[in-house]
């Protein structure tokens, strides 16, 4: 039996029989687009009650869930609920994450990370070839991975890009955004002096979470929006009412927010899921490209930087 549309489909009882015929065109091609997926949420009383009803209705002896830490937590909660309600359905989780953030002595490996690193590395390799061929572009490449930099590091080890940023490393050294921008510009400057006005930089999508000031800003905005009854109305008010924005943030977070160009302020407010920032949708690569461009212009005016800087941004995402 296959559950269409993930957890949402499970709660709506969208269950089909998987046969040789209906699965034939998906065989050996991954198959996630056969059943599809949805958000992970299996924790409320209503959701757990519906799960119980579906399992009983179809006499399911087992339910296999594929996912990462959130799915594992859902499974633990759901297992306990089914046991307490005398349901004999066994729940099994197949660890699956491109982030590479599941580690346990009883888990040999997880699905996804190896595939994602090989696929992204192939794309990065194409960018490196293009960079060395055109000799006029700096590629700012953002890599998926949530708040961890494991995938970014693996891709860097496979492709040997000119520079890689790691959130964990920035956090360890207590770097600010200006520190990171300065490091990138130093690398661009160094290559320009060698006559190489091109290169490639890998950026983990959760980089900004490694900077304490940004983490506080994100947390404060998440709290304001998540705790409101109407998320859309609150986001609109934060965007249009400067007084409300000032009241909602601490002075430090407000100062940081006001330093960010307007287009990125808009993303920070509007790109949300259940009230929380969708970090994958925030264009960190474009923010860094913009700030590096401004810094290099300043260095050029001072007569320090004499090279050329032609940035191009990419996001190898989900």
- Encode pLDDT of 225-245 as tens digits: 999 989 999 999 999 999 999
> What is the average pLDDT across 168-180?
95
Q: What is the pLDDT of residue 43?
A: 87
Do 141 and 314 form a contact (C-beta atoms < 8 A)?
yes
For residue 38, what pLDDT is reported? Answer: 84
> What is the percentage of the chain residues whose pLDDT exceeds 70?
100
DSSP structure class, residue 146: T
* Nearest CA-CA partner of 9 in 40, 43, 45: 40
Query: Where would I find the H helices in 12-93?
Result: 20-23, 32-35, 45-57, 69-84
| Residue 264 exposed, middle or buried by CB count within 10 Å (0-12, 13-18, 19+) | middle
Tens digit of pLDDT for each residue in 31-53?
788 998 887 788 899 999 999 99
**Joined tokens for residue 116:** 């994602």
Q: Distance between CA 29 and CA 24 in Å, rounded?
A: 10
Structure tokens at 80: 């306990």
Helices then strands, counting H and E runs in the chain, come out as 15, 11
| Averaged pLDDT of the chain | 93
274 assigned to active site: no
- Residue 207, pLDDT score: 96
Residue 104 pLDDT: 85
> Tokens representing 285?
């690569």
Q: Which class for 191: exposed (0-12), middle (13-18), buried (19 or more C-beta within 10 A)?
A: middle
Q: Check residue 149 and give its pLDDT.
A: 95
Average pLDDT over residues 111-120: 92
Strand duo 272-273 + 276-277: pairing? antiparallel
Distance CA 248, CA 75 (A): 36
First to last CA, the chain: 26
User: Among 8, 13, 45, 99, which one carries the catalytic annotation?
Assistant: 99
Predicted model pTM: 0.87
E strands within the chain?
2-3, 15-16, 62-67, 90-97, 111-112, 138-143, 163-164, 199-204, 272-273, 276-277, 311-316
Give the C-alpha separation, 301 to 291, whole Å.
16
Alpha helices in 61-176 (DSSP H): 69-84, 113-134, 150-159, 167-173
Q: How many CB atoms lie within 10 A of CB 70?
A: 14
**102 pLDDT exceeds 90?**
no
Q: How far apart are alpha carbons 179 and 182 in whole angstroms?
A: 5
User: For the residues 130-142, what does the mean pLDDT come to?
Assistant: 95
Is the pLDDT at 110 greater than 80? The verdict is yes
Mapped onto helix, strand or coil, the DSSP state of residue 277 is strand
Tokens of 27: 């065989």
Rounded average pLDDT over 83-90: 94
Q: What pLDDT is recorded for position 210?
A: 94
């Amino acid at each position: 039996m296959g559950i269409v549309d993930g957890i949402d489909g499970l709660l709506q009882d969208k269950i089909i029989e998987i046969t040789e015929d209906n699965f034939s065109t998906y065989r050996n091609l991954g198959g996630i687009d056969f059943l599809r997926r949805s958000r992970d949420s299996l924790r409320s009383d209503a959701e757990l009650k519906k799960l119980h009803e579906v399992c009983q209705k179809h006499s399911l002896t087992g339910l296999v869930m594929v996912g990462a830490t959130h799915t594992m937590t859902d499974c633990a909660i759901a297992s306990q609920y089914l046991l307490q309600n005398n349901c004999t359905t066994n729940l099994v989780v197949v660890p699956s994450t491109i982030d590479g953030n599941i580690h346990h002595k009883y888990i040999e490996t997880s699905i996804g990370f190896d595939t994602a690193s090989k696929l992204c590395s192939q794309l990065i390799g194409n960018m490196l070839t293009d960079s060395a061929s055109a000799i006029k572009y700096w590629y700012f490449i953002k890599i998926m991975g949530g708040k961890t930099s494991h995938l970014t590091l693996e891709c860097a080890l496979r492709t040997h890009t000119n520079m890689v940023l790691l959130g964990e490393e920035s956090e360890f050294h207590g770097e600010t955004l200006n520190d990171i921008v300065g490091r990138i510009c130093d690398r661009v400057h160094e290559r320009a002096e060698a006559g190489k006005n091109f290169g490639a930089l890998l950026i983990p999508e959760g980089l900004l979470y490694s900077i304490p000031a940004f983490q506080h800003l994100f947390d404060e905005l998440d709290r304001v929006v998540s705790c409101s009854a109407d998320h859309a109305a609150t986001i609109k008010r934060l965007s249009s009412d400067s007084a409300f924005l000032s009241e909602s943030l601490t002075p430090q977070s407000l100062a940081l927010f006001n330093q960010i160009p307007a287009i990125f302020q808009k993303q920070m407010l509007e790109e949300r899921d259940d009230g929380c920032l969708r970090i994958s949708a925030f264009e960190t690569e474009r923010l860094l490209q913009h700030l590096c461009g401004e810094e290099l212009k300043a260095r050029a005016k001072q007569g320090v930087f004499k090279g050329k800087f032609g940035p191009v941004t990419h996001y190898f995402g989900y």
